Structure 1
């Protein structure tokens, strides 16, 4: 089964890149709490009302980073 990654709306290039590399990509409304990693656009890491220890999943900020950078982070953290 593919690892599930929740990606914030608007990060379509990252969603497509992760999907091409075998990850199950979901939006926040479709399974944020079941995700093994969370990708956000940037800004406040606590904008969802929680941080990494609460979800148990690493939160990765996409601001200023390429889809390949995000993929590299996910592979290292999972």
Structure 2
């Protein structure tokens, strides 16, 4: 299963992704994103955790304004 990095403030989305069986990594610092296939960020801070350059090769999903189901659909679509 893909590893998904997620900001700690996104607890509802975190729960929904766990229910779908994704392996989650809480993003606390830039290094946390390095082995993730995809990251979900809140979008509240454009330069989240001081990451001004891309720390991962995978997708970054900005969850701002999205429901947990919408974010899960975005994640699912990247791995189908």
Taking structure 2 as the reference length, what is the TM-score of the superposition? 0.80
Tell me, which stretches of 5 or more residues in structure 2 are unaligned? Answer: none
Kindly report which structure 2 residues correspond to 1:17-32, keeping only aligned pairs within 5 A, or say none.
17-29=16-28, 31-32=32-33
Higher normalized strand content (fraction of residues)? 2
Alignment correspondent of 2:67: 66
Tell me, which stretches of 5 or more residues in structure 1 are unaligned? Answer: none
Equivalenced residues, count: 74
Residues 27-68 of structure 1, C-alpha deviations (whole Å, 9 max, x = no match): 114831111100000141x432223xx511100011110111
SS in 2 for 1:71: helix
After TM superposition, the runs of 4+ consecutive aligned structure 1 residues lying more than 2 A away are none
- What CA RMSD, in Å, does the superposition of the two structures yield over aligned residues? 1.7
Residues 13-34 of structure 1, C-alpha deviations (whole Å, 9 max, x = no match): 0111000001011111483111
